[in-house]
Amino acid sequence: MGVSAADFYTGIVTDVYAALRSTTFDAGRYLEFVRDAGQPALELGCGDDGPFLELLRRGIDIDGVDSSQDMLDRCQAQADIEGLRIATYCQPMQDLALPSTTVAPMVGVRGFGSGIGGPVVGGGVARWIG
């Protein structure tokens, strides 16, 4: 099964993640999607930045989910520096259980391609998209 994302993305990994990641995601394509699909939005695997904070900067009502509390702590620290109010939830995507106020389109699903921890789509995500 491998290492879970929650266990992998901790400590030094979160410190070097931005410098070593192989790709970044342009918030522009997600902005268009959210404007068409409606708000609030939800970014699965929001990590410490990605499109999540940029969408907030552009006035989008968005929440974030990530299985790594360390990544969410880094995201919160950046949001604090910028004066952004964020709502994030630390939980694996396959166990997604959010307040009903965050029933939103899915965006920024970087976690689906990570390959860490095995399959990520399960009952939790299916409840929100199915």
Q: Is the pTM higher than 0.85? A: no
Per the structure block, which two tokens stand in for 100? 């009903």
- pLDDT tens readout for residues 19-73: 566 566 778 888 888 888 788 888 888 888 778 999 999 999 989 998 889 889 9
End-to-end CA distance of the chain: 26
Looking at residue 112, what is its pLDDT? Answer: 44
Per the structure block, which two tokens stand in for 47? 């990590």
- CB neighbours (10 Å) of residue 66? 28
- Measured between alpha carbons, how far is 26 from 80 in angstroms, rounded to an integer? 22
Domains within the chain, CATH numbers bracketed: 5-129 (3.40.50.150)
- Among 118, 98, 1, CA closest to 44: 98
Residue type, 52: F
Looking at residue 44, what is its pLDDT? Answer: 85
Residue 125 has pLDDT above 70, yes or no: no
